[in-house]
């Protein structure tokens, strides 16, 4: 890709993990910049990132005043990158559940595909550190979303994904209504509806290293209801961009 790539990491109270994560990413010497989108973390995550950025070229901080959810943070990060020269975007959790060593594979596949999905549930993918109950809930959420929306992907709720610039422009991210984990489903649903080329790659997902999960019953039910709503509407697309399918 001629344009640089941007890794977007939303944070809220991730001070215990973010420095380690950034260090691991930088040790790989990948051709990408990092944007941390912090929602005014009480634990000082934003302050820590701002200090790190002083001596870390290509590390950026987008500070937001309020905790406004995962979807809003990613849209803000995508918007930040689209207003600049970035040509590829990768989503990644801040809690060390995603392995930075997979970033190179995602960036490589984005040379050929419009979307790259890091999948826990395809052959070669795995989850470490989760209870059987949590695995079951996650599996059920993916099966439910796949059946309701008739999507062919194995991991709809996962958040380790890559997008090229033209894809984000075309699927009109600014009109996305989902919040929480339904956001990841809606992004993939819109890409599928637009006929874009999606590639899944196996990843190992590990339980967070420090801190607490942001999952709640409200997030779960919002995702379930939003997926059902998507079933009966057509995905909107930006009229400015026209997709040309690739053989």
Q: What is the per-residue pLDDT for 244?
A: 33
Containing structural domain, residue 57: 5-230
- The percent of residues above 90 in pLDDT, for the chain, comes to 73
Q: What is the per-residue pLDDT for 241?
A: 36
Is position 238 within any domain? no
- Looking at residues 221-228, what average pLDDT do you find? 74
Q: pLDDT tens digits, residue range 141-152?
A: 899 999 999 999
Is position 240 within any domain? no
Is position 208 within any domain? yes
- Looking at residues 198-214, what average pLDDT do you find? 80
Q: pLDDT tens digits, residue range 34-54?
A: 999 999 999 999 999 999 999
Identify the band that residue 221 occupies on the pLDDT scale cut at 50, 70 and 90.
Answer: low
The CATH number of the domain holding residue 179 is 3.90.550.10
Domain count, the chain: 1
- Looking at residues 159-181, what average pLDDT do you find? 91
Identify the band that residue 68 occupies on the pLDDT scale cut at 50, 70 and 90.
Answer: confident
Is position 24 within any domain? yes
Is position 80 within any domain? yes
Concatenate the DSSP letters of all residues of the chain into one string.
--S-EEEEEEESS-HHHHHHHHHHHHTTT-SEEEEEEE---TTSHHHHHHHHHTT-TTEEEEE-SS---HHHHHHHHHHHHHTTT--EEEE--SSS-S-GGGHHHHHHHTTT-SEEEEESSSTT-EEES--HHHHHHHHHHHHHHHHHHT---S-SS---EEEEHHHHHHTTGGG----TTHHHHHHHHHHHHTT--EEEEE-EEE--SSS-----HHHHHHHHHHHHHHTTSPPP--TT-------
Is position 239 within any domain? no
For residue 119, pLDDT over 80 is answered with: yes
Is position 43 within any domain? yes
Mean pLDDT for all residues in the chain? 88
Q: What is the per-residue pLDDT for 243?
A: 32
Q: pLDDT tens digits, residue range 73-112?
A: 999 999 999 999 999 999 999 999 999 999 999 999 999 9
Identify the band that residue 134 occupies on the pLDDT scale cut at 50, 70 and 90.
Answer: confident
For residue 247, pLDDT over 50 is answered with: no
Confidence (pTM): 0.88
Identify the band that residue 246 occupies on the pLDDT scale cut at 50, 70 and 90.
Answer: very low
Is position 192 within any domain? yes
127 against 138, higher pLDDT: 127
């Amino acid at each position: 890709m001629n344009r640089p790539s941007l890794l977007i990491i939303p944070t809220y109270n991730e001070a215990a993990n973010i420095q380690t994560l950034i260090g691991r990413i930088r040790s790989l010497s990948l051709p990408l910049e990092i944007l941390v989108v912090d929602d005014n973390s009480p634990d000082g995550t934003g302050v820590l990132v701002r200090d790190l950025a002083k001596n870390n070229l290509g590390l950026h901080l987008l500070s937001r005043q309020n905790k406004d959810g995962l979807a809003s943070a990613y849209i803000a990060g995508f918007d930040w990158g689209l207003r600049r020269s970035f040509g590829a975007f990768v989503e990644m959790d801040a809690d060390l559940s995603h392995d930075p060593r997979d970033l190179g594979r995602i960036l490589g596949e984005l040379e050929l595909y419009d979307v790259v999905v890091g999948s826990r549930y395809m052959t070669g993918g795995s989850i470490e550190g989760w209870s059987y109950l949590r695995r079951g809930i996650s599996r059920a959420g993916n099966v439910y979303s796949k059946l309701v929306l008739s999507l062919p992907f194995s991991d709809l709720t996962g958040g380790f994904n890559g997008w090229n610039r033209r894809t984000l422009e075309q699927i009109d991210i600014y009109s996305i209504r989902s919040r929480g984990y339904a956001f990841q489903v809606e992004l993939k649903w819109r890409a599928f509806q637009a006929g874009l080329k999606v590639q899944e790659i196996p990843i190992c997902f590990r339980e967070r290293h420090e801190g607490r999960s942001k999952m709640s019953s409200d997030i779960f039910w919002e995702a379930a209801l939003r997926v059902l709503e998507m079933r009966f509407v057509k995905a909107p697309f930006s009229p400015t961009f026209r997709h040309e399918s690739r053989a």
